[in-house]
Chain A
Amino acid sequence: MDKKSPSYILIFIVLISFVFGLAISSVHYLTLPMLEKNEALHKNRIISQAFMLDVEKDTPEAYEDAIRQFIKIDSIEIKREKVEFFRHREKDYIGFIFKGLGFWEPISGIIVMDRDLEKIINLKILEQKETPGLGARIEEPWFTEQFQQLAIKWNDNQKIIIGATSNPDKSNVVETITGASQTSDALMNMLNENLAEFKKNYKDK
């Protein structure tokens, strides 16, 4: 068959796409148990850090044990989707998984608050694919630690603020990331929307 003919080109591209697609799918399928295990470890580690649990070792079993011992897991509806809702068995802490669209791709994380919903205890990012060195810094401790003890202004549309504000009361303001205002805004909006929805449905809990 003539290599320049459209039919040859079409058959060639279909064939090569199929072969490489199959190869990628096979590698993904073979590593799936490892990927799932890693994902579970990462999630348990983030939950433990968000609730500031004492975990003896950095092993999947240690995190699982700590969560089983200290955290009660339930679900709550946010934006017409069931998300995980956590209660600390010994302290007055509650938390849930927030989700939303970042600058590039979805962001998810865990926000832990006191049971009266007056202040944030901790915030940790579960997944993000923002720009490395800029938006991706939302998961760095210097940024997430700013949320600890942050007040939540329920009467305001902006329950928490990331970035500059004209409001002299700065109890609910977090410093933004230089050069990543789009990610900071996206995170702020998703937190405010998720918090509003959470409060609506938390009453029934």
Chain B
Amino acid sequence: MADTPKQIFIKGIWKDNPVFRQVLGICSSLAVTNLLTNTLFMAFGVMFVTAFSNFTVSLLRDHIPARIRMIVQVLIIASYVMIVDILIKAVNPDIHRFIGPYVGLIITNCIIMGRAEAFASQNTPWLSFLDGLAMGIGYSLVLIVIALVREPMGFGTLLGFPLPGREIWWHQWTIMVMAPGAFFMLAIVTWISRKIQLNLEKGGK
């Protein structure tokens, strides 16, 4: 039986979270999380692309020839990524200059291709849209949690605004601005969430 919308959201955000459960989309998780604003734009991009590419693949699933389905999926995903890229460039060019290369790389984000192949090609457009959205939200929440630690520790700001009284108490953790800080944070988030998941599973038995 197909999943209900509630089950889809629980899976995308928690049970099958693309980042800490499926370990997908790691490149951008590491790259854009040193500033929360960049993270939010990237999160918007991935949510938009996963939701709409899932929807479109599902809508066309009965018409796409099996032999070229991967090519068609890449074409659909790439088109949505280009639309997101143009929109971010138009709305906020400064952020686009920083995250632009990673927005292009959304095309190769395994979350999107994986969901198009595993879910959208076998389910209805509405459920596929929700699945894409849920996976996008799951990805975004992990990135936001990482950014909420990295930006204050690395820059002493949050969304670009200085932390209150930072001259008195704040000391820069340069490592949080750099890639190793992202690795540490990602590992910590994965560890904590997996630990909670395992405890819940044990408690459920």
- Give the B-binding residues of A (Cβ under 8 A): 3-4, 8-9, 12-13, 16-17, 20-21, 23-24, 27-28, 31, 34-35, 38-39, 41-42, 129, 131-133, 136
Question: How many pairs of A and B residues are in contact by the CB < 8 Å rule?
Answer: 61
Most chain A CB inside 10 Å of its own CB: which residue of B66, B67, B72, B79: B79
When chains A and B are docked, how far (Å) is the Cα of A199 from the Cα of B72?
52
**B145 in contact (CB, < 8 A):** no
The reply to whether A16 and B89 contact each other, CB–CB distance below 8 Å, is no
Q: Which residues of chain A come closer than 8 Å to B100, judged between CB atoms? A: 129
Pick the contact of A16: B75, B82, B86, B101 (CB < 8 A). B75
Q: Which residues of chain B come closer than 8 Å to A12, judged between CB atoms? A: 63-65, 68, 72
When chains A and B are docked, how far (Å) is the Cα of A21 from the Cα of B60?
17
The reply to whether B71 and A38 contact each other, CB–CB distance below 8 Å, is no
The reply to whether A31 and B90 contact each other, CB–CB distance below 8 Å, is yes
Chain B interface residue count, CB cutoff 8 Å, equals: 25
Jot down 12 A-B pairs with beta carbons below 8 A, ordered by A.
A12-B64, A13-B71, A16-B76, A21-B79, A24-B79, A27-B86, A31-B87, A35-B86, A38-B90, A129-B101, A131-B101, A133-B179
When chains A and B are docked, how far (Å) is the Cα of A13 from the Cα of B71?
9
Q: Which residues of chain B come closer than 8 Å to A9, judged between CB atoms? A: 65, 67-68
Most chain B CB inside 10 Å of its own CB: which residue of A23, A24, A133: A24
When chains A and B are docked, how far (Å) is the Cα of A20 from the Cα of B26?
28
Q: Which residues of chain B come closer than 8 Å to A3, judged between CB atoms? A: 63, 65-66
The reply to whether B72 and A13 contact each other, CB–CB distance below 8 Å, is yes
A20 to chain B, nearest CB (A): 4
Closest B residue to A39 by beta carbon equals B93
Closest A residue to B93 by beta carbon equals A38
A142 to chain B, nearest CB (A): 13
**B83 in contact (CB, < 8 A):** yes
B11 to chain A, nearest CB (A): 29
Contacts known (A17-B75, A27-B83, A27-B86); A42 close to B93, Cβ less than 8 A: yes
**B91 in contact (CB, < 8 A):** yes
When chains A and B are docked, how far (Å) is the Cα of A28 from the Cα of B83?
8
The reply to whether B86 and A28 contact each other, CB–CB distance below 8 Å, is yes
Q: Which residues of chain A come closer than 8 Å to B179, judged between CB atoms? A: 133
The reply to whether B68 and A13 contact each other, CB–CB distance below 8 Å, is yes
When chains A and B are docked, how far (Å) is the Cα of A129 from the Cα of B102?
11
**B24 in contact (CB, < 8 A):** no
